[in-house]
Amino acid sequence: MVTGTIFFFLPNMSGQTTKYRIGVTFWDISWEGWEDFFEPNLNWSTVTDPWLPALLSDLAPLNGEIRFMDWNEINTNTDTQWSQRVQKTADHYTTTRVAYEWMIDLCNRANKDMWICVPTYSDTAYWTQLAKLIKANLNSNLKCYVEYSNETWNTMFEQYNYTVTNGTALGLPGSGSNFQGYAWSVYNSLQIFQSFQNVFGASAMGTRIIRVCCWSGYQAVADDAFTNVLSSSKWNPHNQKIDMGAFAPYIGPNDNVNGGTLSGADLQIVSKFEANVVWNYTNYIETGVAIAQKHGFPLGTYEGGNQLDDYAGSWSSSNDSVYKGYTFMLNNLLPAKLVLFTHYCMYGAYTAGSAWGLKSSVVATTAQDGEYRAVIDFLGTGTSIQTNETSGSNNTLTVFPNPANNIANIRLSSYNGPVLVSVFDISGKDVLASQVYPNAQGVYQLNTSSLNSGLYIIKLIKGSDILSGKFSIQK
């Protein structure tokens, strides 16, 4: 288990150093249900804070962004005008989309950057109004990632036909209609970026507004479009930039190393998963990084993670082997080349044919969710230490966020009663002691406002068990 705060640094394309970050995509709320996000029995015309505290607790350890593609149902969204968007006061227990205002509100409360996917058919006035809404309401310390549509190269979605039609009609360069279609996606993205620049100002571009273009496994299409459109004064007259490229490195469902299907029921699933991580790095990520470097921007992911479709439930989040596989992926695949990893998705139950969720649900514990536990341990935002007593307990302790500020959240994997917490500075001096009780989500909140920035040792006494670990405070 990881103790303390660990940061990973890697060079970005401009020679600076970037802390590695992990964010999440939210699943379509009509698939998942509102129960993982909203408090029940709200009056949507008057409510100011609809969020489950457990949702904010789950988001706290992550240091990346929230991508809201599915919350706006981008793959089926036919809105063209701003007036067609979902309103803030709409009944979000029955609507299949979530209002931009609530997306912004959640990012503000969770202190997470925002990633929006601009609807496929929307017009310039829509882009301008969206930019104005975000500028007026998103906290100034937060970034907004801006992407046009979603997977416009994907023939499963109508946006593929739309972009091909526009690209060929405009006569964009490209060796075939699919090349011209993605060229139009880049072309339209640059126009959207210009609309955001008109609202936010040039100085915000690349700093507060992160301009994103995403692509697929057929990477020559992206390379061609960036060469012919991004670098062209004809098709990019305002000289808009791309601040991050992104693609989706999923592990599974195919076993690319041994052939056949990567199965959660395989007794060798961990070693095979790890072998596919290495294959993915060599055959996919390095190619994408080379394209991004060629065109002058870093590479991240818009989606990614575990995509076992065969016996996925057998390798569920409650199985410790998924923790081992995910830890290997995070340590060996992602930090080496990518500046941002966006896991798909935050919540999703594990079934025989689906294993999407970082957590299976908002009520699942960290101990139950191996993927989530691997992520927060990798980031150093969780401190999980096995009990050192001989009582036979299998309890673990997690402290988040790490570093903490005025409140340190504590979660135990298998206990939900009052505990005595003691905090010591690095010299061993006892600086804080308190008996704390769990809230409705099983989280203990320790008031650390009296403590200065620095490294501390926490000791928690639960009956005959004593759990200890390290955490940091940063003010």
Nearest CA-CA partner of 306 in 251, 266, 248, 246: 251
Half-sphere exposure of residue 117: CA atoms within 13 angstroms, side-chain side: 27
**pLDDT, tens digit, 9 for 90 and up, residues 130-146:** 999 999 999 999 999 99
**pLDDT, tens digit, 9 for 90 and up, residues 374-387:** 898 888 755 433 33
- Ranges of H-type helices in 213-358: 219-225, 269-280, 286-295, 320-332
Is residue 307 pLDDT above 90, yes or no? no
Half-sphere exposure of residue 108: CA atoms within 13 angstroms, side-chain side: 15
| pLDDT tier for residue 428 given thresholds of 50, 70 and 90 | low
CA 97 to chain centre: 19
For the question of whether the overall pTM of this predicted structure is more than 0.85, the answer is no
Q: What span, in angstroms and rounded, lies between the C-alpha atoms of 457 and 425?
A: 6
Is residue 431 pLDDT above 90, yes or no? no
Provide the residue type at 338 as one letter. L
Angle between helices 177-200 and 158-170 (to 10 degrees): 90
* pLDDT for position 465: 65
- Across residues 431-437, what is the average pLDDT? 83
Q: Are 439 and 53 in contact (CB under 8 A)?
A: yes
Beta-carbon contacts of 433 under 8 Å, excluding residues fewer than 6 positions away, are 420, 421, 422, 423
* pLDDT for position 378: 83
Determine how many CB atoms are found less than 10 A away from the CB of residue 359: 25
Percentage of the chain with pLDDT > 90? 54
Beta-carbon contacts of 6 under 8 Å, excluding residues fewer than 6 positions away, are 378, 379, 380
Which of helix, strand or coil describes residue 154? coil
Provide the residue type at 361 as one letter. S
Instruction: Output 312 or 169, whichever has higher pLDDT.
Output: 169
Nearest CA-CA partner of 245 in 156, 338, 309, 383: 338
Q: What span, in angstroms and rounded, lies between the C-alpha atoms of 374 and 316?
A: 13
Beta-carbon contacts of 425 under 8 Å, excluding residues fewer than 6 positions away, are 431, 454, 455, 456, 457
Nearest CA-CA partner of 226 in 147, 131, 293, 304: 293
* Tokens 């006494």 -> residue: 461
* pLDDT for position 422: 81
Is residue 229 pLDDT above 80, yes or no? yes
* pLDDT for position 474: 77
Is residue 316 pLDDT above 60, yes or no? yes
Determine how many CB atoms are found less than 10 A away from the CB of residue 61: 24
Sketch out the chain's domains with CATH numbers. Answer: 9-379 (3.20.20.80), 397-473 (2.60.40.3080)
DSSP string for residues in 398-435: EEESSSBSSEEEEEESS--S-EEEEEEETTS-EEEEEE
Q: What span, in angstroms and rounded, lies between the C-alpha atoms of 69 and 23?
A: 13
| pLDDT tier for residue 7 given thresholds of 50, 70 and 90 | very low
Is residue 417 pLDDT above 60, yes or no? yes
* pLDDT for position 350: 79
Mean confidence (pLDDT) of the chain: 86
